[in-house]
Amino acid sequence: MSILGFIVLLIVAAVVGSLGQAIAGYSTGGCLVSIIMGFIGAVIGVWLASVLHLPEIFVLNIDGQPFPVVWAIIGAALFAAILGVFARRSFV
């Protein structure tokens, strides 16, 4: 993977992570956290799609690496919602 392809992949992951956090209504941090949320969301989304036997809806091919945009947004939203539930819980 080239440097430009890696930078584009990071930008797409940041946008996907930000959208997932916005849908869930829980934001955990800045740009780096959004990138991480985008990649974790992609893993969760692809896993969920394979378990439910659903097709990949919109996949970007970035320098030979497929990135499932729709499933990544759904996975990031689920992950952010789960984080939001546990972060708002008071452990007294």
Q: Encode the chain in three state secondary structure.
A: CCHHHHHHHHHHHHHHHHHHHHHHCCCCCCHHHHHHHHHHHHHHHHHHHHHCCCCCCCEEEECCEEEEHHHHHHHHHHHHHHHHHHHHCCCC
pLDDT tens track for 4-49: 988 988 898 899 989 988 998 887 778 888 888 888 888 998 899 9
Give the residue carrying structure tokens 């440097």.
3
Q: What is the pTM of this model?
A: 0.82
Tell me if 78 sits within 8 A of 23, measured CB to CB.
no
What is the model's pLDDT at position 91? 56
